[in-house]
Structure 1
Amino acid sequence: MCGRFTQHLSWEELQRLADLIGQPRNLAPHYNIAPTMQIEVIRLGVQGKELTPMRWGLVPLWWRDSLNRLPATFNARAETVAEKPMFCSAFNARRGVVPASGFYEWTGPKGAKTPHYFSAPDGRPLAFAGLWERAPNPDTKEMIDSATIIVGPANKWMSRFHDRMPVILDWGDIGLWMAGGDPGSLLRPPPEDALQEWVVSPRANKSDLGDDDPMLIAPV
């Protein structure tokens, strides 16, 4: 799946990759993003592709209970995303892209798991297929933007570490994805050489904003 990832991105690089509109802004780096935290998401606005902060964990428009009782919606399965009530409305009308510097996955027995970090071999950001929604926060009544990352079966290379992985789009396909393009040709495992991997510090096992620094992704 994808339960932890990083965003240490520059506006300039994302603008080149995604043809963003809007005023450039300084993007704070984060090396230990966990569900319910704020993430940066690319979506189609009236004028074009815009970068918007959102809650990681999609809140459906119809959800009326407290967010504390919202089921885990930080990932959506590619196989069922078009039918699941939590995601189908956003799948049909509000697709987005979550730019990521990399993501974590774990191997080994419970209590002694080894964290691995995955990123693009050329260092470019990854483009995760995602969905977004704007809905009232049941706890505050304020409107919030939220998002989920779509995950699918792992390719052969990734299957050594986990049987699932984020759906990674080619940057050239993100416009087609957000405009409602055929998911069958887009929600597929990436090429076998799409990622590189190394083992990182066990500090990555903690989801704590107080432990959020570049050394989390340093090889050990």
Structure 2
Amino acid sequence: MCGRIAVIASPEEVAAFTGVGDLESFPPRYNIAPTQPILVVTAGPPRPPGSNLPDRAALLARWGLIPAWTKNPADLPLLINARSETAIEKASFRNAMRHRRALVPVSGFYEWKKLPGNRRQPYWLRPRKGGLVALAGLLETWAEPGGSEIDTAAILTTGASADIMHIHDRMPVVIQPEDFGRWLDCRTQEPRDVVDLMRPAQPDFFEQIPVSELVNKVTNVAPEIQDRVEPLPEAAPAKVAKPKAEKRQSSEDGQMKLF
């Protein structure tokens, strides 16, 4: 799955990577959590003649997709991820897969490894070569009862690559730059035409950095949450046995003393 992301690149780097042109200034974000706004890139209107940029647009969307047909979001679970294997058929994601595929540019994402003793070791996963990576996203616009509209998004996941399997059995779908156009083209590329793009990243694509439990709290947003630490031991902490109370006996007859 994918439950936390980070974008620590500059707006200029994000714009150049996704081909959207200029972006408004924004600060580095080290710990982006569900329900918070995330930057998504979609197919956009045609560029003016002479432009060498692709027809793409960027916008902010709430992380947690709300299907357009939803009457009350409280009746649905928080849809931050969509399984790529079933998104084409699922009612919650079917329309977005057909009409509103998107890219979610990130510097990396966090994942938690379950350990014995109800413990979890967080990892920061970033491209081994550095820079940004584009995760496959879905976009949906939900109309509130009052008439206002809100853009919402989910990140597609797939089975984890062999090197990440020891942390978690799922990972976000990565779209390579040479496939941006095909993924975003919802006019000529139907969902069945882009199924081949929804696959695990190549082994060794992501560097896996054990980090501290600071990342567990959404209020921790400073750079140090990405500092490498020694991972928690795999074995559960040994339980210390409590000493049993000893019976006091008389040194004369072995009977229990009353006084």
- TM-score, normalised to structure 1's length? 0.92
The answer to whether structure 1 residue 104 and structure 2 residue 110 are counterparts is: yes
| Equivalent residue number for residue 24 of structure 2 | 25
TM-aligned CA deviation for residue 16 of structure 1: 1.9
What is the distance in 2 between the residues matched to 1:78 and 1:91?
10
| Equivalent residue number for residue 211 of structure 2 | 200
The answer as to whether partners of 1:9 and 1:27 remain within 8 angstroms in 2 is no
Match for 2:81 among 72, 75, 78? 75
Show CA shifts across 1:3-58 (max 9, x none): 1111123221122222113x431122211111111111111121321111100011
| Seq. identity, % | 36
The answer as to whether partners of 1:40 and 1:99 remain within 8 angstroms in 2 is yes
| One-letter code aligned to 2:156 | I
The answer to whether structure 1 residue 154 and structure 2 residue 163 are counterparts is: no
- Which secondary structure state, in structure 2, belongs to the residue aligned with residue 63 of structure 1? coil
Match for 1:185 among 196, 200, 204? 196
Show CA shifts across 1:159-179 (max 9, x none): 111110000110121111010
- Runs of 4 or more above 4 Å deviation: none
Q: Taking structure 1 as reference, are residues 110 and 36 closer, same or farther at Cα in structure 2, changes over 3 Å only?
A: farther
What is the distance in 1 between the residues matched to 2:173 and 2:143?
28
What is the distance in 1 between the residues matched to 2:116 and 2:41?
36
The answer as to whether partners of 2:182 and 2:194 remain within 8 angstroms in 1 is no
Show CA shifts across 1:90-118 (max 9, x none): 00000000011111111124642111110
Structure number with greater CO (CA < 8 Å, separation at least 6) is 1
- Which secondary structure state, in structure 2, belongs to the residue aligned with residue 129 of structure 1? strand
Tell me, which stretches of 5 or more residues in structure 2 are unaligned? 47-54, 230-259
The answer to whether structure 1 residue 133 and structure 2 residue 140 are counterparts is: yes
- Which secondary structure state, in structure 2, belongs to the residue aligned with residue 32 of structure 1? strand
What is the distance in 1 between the residues matched to 2:144 and 2:117?
35
| One-letter code aligned to 1:106 | W
| Equivalent residue number for residue 41 of structure 2 | 42
Match for 2:63 among 56, 59, 64? 56
The number of residues matched between the two structures is 215
Show CA shifts across 1:149-198 (max 9, x none): 00001111111111100001101211110104422220011111211011
| Equivalent residue number for residue 219 of structure 1 | 228
- TM-score, normalised to structure 2's length? 0.79
The answer as to whether partners of 2:102 and 2:136 remain within 8 angstroms in 1 is yes
What is the distance in 1 between the residues matched to 2:129 and 2:16?
15
Tell me, which stretches of 5 or more residues in structure 1 are unaligned? none
Q: Taking structure 1 as reference, are residues 16 and 160 closer, same or farther at Cα in structure 2, changes over 3 Å only?
A: same
What is the distance in 1 between the residues matched to 2:90 and 2:125?
28
The answer as to whether partners of 2:6 and 2:106 remain within 8 angstroms in 1 is yes
What is the distance in 2 between the residues matched to 1:109 and 1:27?
40
What is the distance in 1 between the residues matched to 2:43 and 2:198?
19
The answer as to whether partners of 2:159 and 2:169 remain within 8 angstroms in 1 is yes
The structure whose Rg is larger is 2
What is the distance in 2 between the residues matched to 1:172 and 1:13?
17
What is the distance in 2 between the residues matched to 1:55 and 1:126?
20
What is the distance in 2 between the residues matched to 1:101 and 1:178?
20
What is the distance in 1 between the residues matched to 2:147 and 2:195?
37
Q: CA RMSD in A?
A: 1.5
